[in-house]
Structure 1
Amino acid sequence: MNFKYKIIAFVILISALNSSCKSGSGHSQKSQAVILKAENYKHYVDYFNAMEDENLKFVIPNDSAWTWMKKNVPLFECPQQNFEEIYYFRWWSARKHIKKTPQGFAITEFLVDRSYADKYNMIACAVGHHINEFRWVHDPQYIEQDVKLWYRGNDGKPMNKLYKFSSWTADALYNRYLVNYDKTFLLDMYPDMITDYAVWEKDRQRKDGLFWQHDVKDGMEESLSGGRKVQNARPTINSYMYGNAVAIAKMAEMKGDKDVKAKFEVKANDLKQLVETKLWNSKAEFFETFTEKDTLAQVREAIGFIPWYFNLPEKNKGFEKAWEQIKDEKGFSAPFGLTTAERRSPRFRTHGTGTCEWDGAIWPFASSQTLTALANVLNNYDQNFVAKTDYFKQMSLYVESQYFHGKPYLGEYLDETTGYWLMGERERSRYYNHSTFNDLVITGLVGLRPRADEKIEANPLIPQDKWDWFCLDNVLYHGNIITILWDKTGEKYHKGKGFRIFKNGKEIAVSEKLERIVSN
């Protein structure tokens, strides 16, 4: 073989290696379910495609939806059909928002163009939700390009409207790392996250160290505790900044930046103390908004649960008592889910309809935050105020709420007693990409808890007597395919009785009961 052909052969070999192993991308070519057969769920997509007029087509139109889902998403089945249907509906609707731009993929919030959006119709409010949901998609390019577009899409600088809304992006990116173990991408975004934090400190930090925000820039326009122009220290932005500080400290440790790690640990600890002392209403036993007049708002709102989204509240100090309010019909418990303000308030649902009210109506944005926080409480806190039954009940209501005119539907907000989607007839409301659901199924309901080590942990928040079987399959986690199943009798999946975890088809953990199990 002469030199010319040796060079050609070498180039072909390198090309083949690159295509079969995307080093540092976190994207494995493995996409093979162990137990479930993908074709058994295609009928859902056929139904979704047939139930609508396809108003807009972007990267993955309806006729390509199943092909994309089959390649990219975990499979799930259970005996409760509506759970299964909404699970596949949420993947089907999420891919509608993948949009191709000259600078890579973007993920939108609304399908229709909004006047207040940034370039490419991007809105920053739900970026944290997008990252947490898309971290389970096998192909990493969609969410990675979206994040880079937000932070570098303006001639190498952040997009103009990135800071129009509060965000927990650093926390979400670290959580994504816990799923795909892609240290390269995380640390590539590390300097952007440090800069991001500094911008919020400059623009929104008070002299006492708390952060303030307009309700509207928290994505929560008409609330009971503030207003569109009021500068209150809200549990939202302060919890987000705590979560971001913790995440940046962990990134710094990975990078070997000891000084940065120490600095952000101090920032996180200071915020933790401020939230626990200034935002906690000991009489109401709840985290509340601290107003610009330096008084508590004296009203419970769903944002008071957000500190647990980031495991902020200290354990064994009684803070968990706040969670009793999700069981109280005078609190947040309503026929179609968790309200955004306590129902006992004389101002509950007094702001009218049609101007994005957060005065009590149910918003999936908040429901998914509260359910993520509740899963953290049930996993990480020793308490007796809430249990798996409470989580399962609220997940069931969340599922039931995602229907409109008898068909699967996802919109902006809904009436807490009738389940009717407020402004649901508006074209803008359809497929509103402003929340998570499948992440809750995976990390909460089935209970795969992402970790920084090589152990695989599952703690299902399904009561023992609720389902006789379920299976989550084709989960790409740390570069491996994970399968988690429960089979009460052993007759459904023929792998024996009990709760099991498989890694690349090999059983690695088992229990006779539906309980937390961790692989060795």
Structure 2
Amino acid sequence: MLQKFKYKLLVFGLAIAALSSACKSTSVSSKKTKGVVLQSQNFKHYVDYFNTMEDENLKFAIPNDSSWTWMEKNIPLFECPQQNFEEIYYYRWWTARKHIKKTPLGYGITEFLVDRSYADKYNLIACAVGHHINEFRWVHDPKYIEQDVKIWYRGNEGKPMNKLYKFSSWTADALYNRYLVNKDEKFLLDLYPDMVTDYAVWEKDRQRKDGLFWQHDVKDGMEESLSGGRKVQNARPTINSYMFGNAMAIAKMASMKGDKEVEATFKAKADVLKQLIETKLWNKKSEFFETFTEKDTLAQVREAIGFIPWYFNLPEQNKGFEKAWEQIKDEKGFSAPFGLTTAERRSPRFRTHGTGTCEWDGAIWPFASSQTLTALANVLNNYNQSFVAKTDYFKQMELYVQSQYYRGRPYIGEYLDETTGYWLMGDKERSRYYNHSTFNDLMITGLVGLRPRADEKIEVNPLIPQEKWDWFCLDNVLYHGNIITILWDKTGEKYHKGKGFRIYKNGKEIAASERLEKLVGE
């Protein structure tokens, strides 16, 4: 009886929190639904078209007939001369909205629209929570992702959901990165104890004696890989990089909290993992981070997961690690006609596991593409190196855009053939609108280059080569409580704000340059 009473109190508390969040977010977004430069109505035609593409057999919190109203209130606006970039940008917001689901505890965000037998309550799956947080941090109304996270960590009578630990995660890192966008310290620190507990669970269940973490490839969400197996306990670059990122994030939360002992403890955990990853997972011969097998040998195959350490800025500079990135330009490596493969193409085992059982033996997965592109943006922003450049980032973003079509229409699914672009599960209902990757976060933080940070400087470093586009604009970005506008106008004739690259805060220009280059606004 006592447990049931506590649970009812929890449900009531979450409902009150949801109402409070809704009221707070409405007061922010209702005043700021129009961009400083762009007019939202100019992009409604995309949504009108998307709504005609399907019969909408599945409807959840925000059905198609409400999708534009929701998008107009919640998303940054984007415009560029390359129509497919623009179309997929709005398509990915349109599809993300489909996954918002009302539950008795508030809003949840699903991975599949159709029910899956291995999902938790409310059809929630933990595999892509980090992606969901990073994508939804740009949505003006905070309640969707906040309630989703609280369901995961407190939705089981105040405890974590039963299947939270079914998949590896980088939730603490994603939550801290979300804080860098909205500066909501109260929400972040409310989750701080949950993140400390979360880390301890992974240490208990998955840490080896040498300090590395092991994981089955299927519980990384990457089954049928070349380096592992569904039951093989390997120390993979995925979970070890995630735990490094989580430790660093928890240390920063502890610092904000004033808890110096916990801060020092988690910094030390991160330092140990960094050293282990750089020494045990780095293959000097292949010059790549590889899986360290349960037999304590390197897997001797390059996989896209070897780029994940840079997702968290883990590898030390000037030690030669960045040379690994040459592999994204090599057709024997990861470079393919429709994007970046999940295993190196030179491997004799490349694409040998068949099709239809979620193989990560080489085909292109948006999950991995978005991780690799996030990591690549970090390399281009935070590392001094000569192996990759803006042109490489733009090329891969362009291929990522081009891959998100199926039979002539926008589409996002599970995985695709690297040479034909054919979606391998494209005709299955489960694959449609698969919410298992980021795209708009890459557009904002990578391509346009708004780099979230804890101080009040606004840093923008576009990864668009100077000669590619004569103009573009990202508008209505809610950042640190302000509306940010970023635009490039080579001739000054598109937006009539003058020639060059400009940043505006609440309509006031705060930085400008004649060239498309890094800007920092005070």
Task: Compute the TM-score of the two structures, normalised by the length of structure 2.
Answer: 0.95
Q: Please report how far the alpha carbon of residue 423 of structure 1 lies from its aligned counterpart in structure 2 after TM superposition.
A: 1.5
What corresponds to 1:136 in structure 2? Answer: 138
Q: 1:161 to 1:379 in 2, by over 3 A?
A: same
What corresponds to 2:313 in structure 1? Answer: 311
Counterpart residue type for residue 124 of structure 1: A
Of 360, 363, 371, the residue aligned with 2:362 is: 360
Instruction: For 2:422 and 2:23, locate their aligned partners in 1 and report how far apart those are by CA, in whole Å.
Output: 48
What corresponds to 1:230 in structure 2? Answer: 232
Instruction: For 1:58 and 1:499, locate their aligned partners in 2 and report how far apart those are by CA, in whole Å.
Output: 40
Of 189, 203, 206, the residue aligned with 2:205 is: 203
Alignment: residue pair count: 503
Query: In structure 1, the residue corresponding to 2:486 is in which secondary structure?
Result: strand
Alignment RMSD: 1.4
What corresponds to 1:476 in structure 2? Answer: 478
Counterpart residue type for residue 296 of structure 1: L
Instruction: For 1:19 and 1:344, locate their aligned partners in 2 and report how far apart those are by CA, in whole Å.
Output: 51
Structure 1, unaligned runs of 5 or more: 1-17
Question: Deviation above 6 Å: which 4+ runs of structure 1?
Answer: 18-21, 23-28
CA contact (8 A) 1:25 1:185 kept: no
Instruction: For 1:389 and 1:197, locate their aligned partners in 2 and report how far apart those are by CA, in whole Å.
Output: 38
What corresponds to 1:457 in structure 2? Answer: 459
Where does 1:7-406 land on structure 2 (aligned, <5 Å)? 22=24, 29-406=31-408
Instruction: For 1:200 and 1:482, locate their aligned partners in 2 and report how far apart those are by CA, in whole Å.
Output: 38
What corresponds to 2:510 in structure 1? Answer: 508
Instruction: For 1:419 and 1:121, locate their aligned partners in 2 and report how far apart those are by CA, in whole Å.
Output: 29
Query: In structure 1, the residue corresponding to 2:262 is in which secondary structure?
Result: helix
Instruction: For 1:25 and 1:125, locate their aligned partners in 2 and report how far apart those are by CA, in whole Å.
Output: 33
CA contact (8 A) 2:336 2:419 kept: yes
Q: Please report how far the alpha carbon of residue 452 of structure 1 lies from its aligned counterpart in structure 2 after TM superposition.
A: 0.3
CA contact (8 A) 1:20 1:29 kept: no
Q: 1:80 to 1:229 in 2, by over 3 A?
A: same
Instruction: For 2:232 and 2:359, locate their aligned partners in 1 and report how far apart those are by CA, in whole Å.
Output: 16
What corresponds to 1:434 in structure 2? Answer: 436
Instruction: For 1:499 and 1:457, locate their aligned partners in 2 and report how far apart those are by CA, in whole Å.
Output: 13
CA contact (8 A) 1:21 1:28 kept: no
Counterpart residue type for residue 96 of structure 1: K
Q: Please report how far the alpha carbon of residue 21 of structure 1 lies from its aligned counterpart in structure 2 after TM superposition.
A: 7.8
Task: Compute the TM-score of the two structures, normalised by the length of structure 1.
Answer: 0.95
Q: 1:320 to 1:410 in 2, by over 3 A?
A: same
Instruction: Give the % identical residues.
Output: 87
CA contact (8 A) 2:173 2:249 kept: yes
Query: In structure 2, the residue corresponding to 1:414 is in which secondary structure?
Result: coil
Q: Please report how far the alpha carbon of residue 22 of structure 1 lies from its aligned counterpart in structure 2 after TM superposition.
A: 2.9
Q: Please report how far the alpha carbon of residue 224 of structure 1 lies from its aligned counterpart in structure 2 after TM superposition.
A: 0.2
Instruction: For 1:189 and 1:456, locate their aligned partners in 2 and report how far apart those are by CA, in whole Å.
Output: 26
Query: In structure 1, the residue corresponding to 2:24 is in which secondary structure?
Result: coil
Q: Please report how far the alpha carbon of residue 32 of structure 1 lies from its aligned counterpart in structure 2 after TM superposition.
A: 2.9
What corresponds to 1:497 in structure 2? Answer: 499
CA contact (8 A) 1:361 1:413 kept: yes
Q: Please report how far the alpha carbon of residue 509 of structure 1 lies from its aligned counterpart in structure 2 after TM superposition.
A: 0.4
Instruction: For 2:318 and 2:276, locate their aligned partners in 1 and report how far apart those are by CA, in whole Å.
Output: 18
Deviation track 1:386-420 (CA, whole Å, cap 9, x = no partner) reads: 00000000000000000001000000000000000
Q: Please report how far the alpha carbon of residue 30 of structure 1 lies from its aligned counterpart in structure 2 after TM superposition.
A: 3.0
CA contact (8 A) 2:471 2:494 kept: yes
Q: Please report how far the alpha carbon of residue 92 of structure 1 lies from its aligned counterpart in structure 2 after TM superposition.
A: 0.1
Q: Please report how far the alpha carbon of residue 24 of structure 1 lies from its aligned counterpart in structure 2 after TM superposition.
A: 13
Counterpart residue type for residue 468 of structure 2: K
CA contact (8 A) 1:32 1:481 kept: no
CA contact (8 A) 2:25 2:142 kept: no
Query: In structure 1, the residue corresponding to 2:263 is in which secondary structure?
Result: helix
Instruction: For 2:86 and 2:320, locate their aligned partners in 1 and report how far apart those are by CA, in whole Å.
Output: 36
Counterpart residue type for residue 149 of structure 1: I
Q: 1:248 to 1:19 in 2, by over 3 A?
A: closer
Q: Please report how far the alpha carbon of residue 86 of structure 1 lies from its aligned counterpart in structure 2 after TM superposition.
A: 0.1
Instruction: For 1:103 and 1:466, locate their aligned partners in 2 and report how far apart those are by CA, in whole Å.
Output: 47
CA contact (8 A) 2:22 2:143 kept: no
Instruction: For 1:185 and 1:23, locate their aligned partners in 2 and report how far apart those are by CA, in whole Å.
Output: 13
Deviation track 1:444-491 (CA, whole Å, cap 9, x = no partner) reads: 000000000000000000000000000000000000000000000000
CA contact (8 A) 1:24 1:184 kept: no
Counterpart residue type for residue 254 of structure 2: A
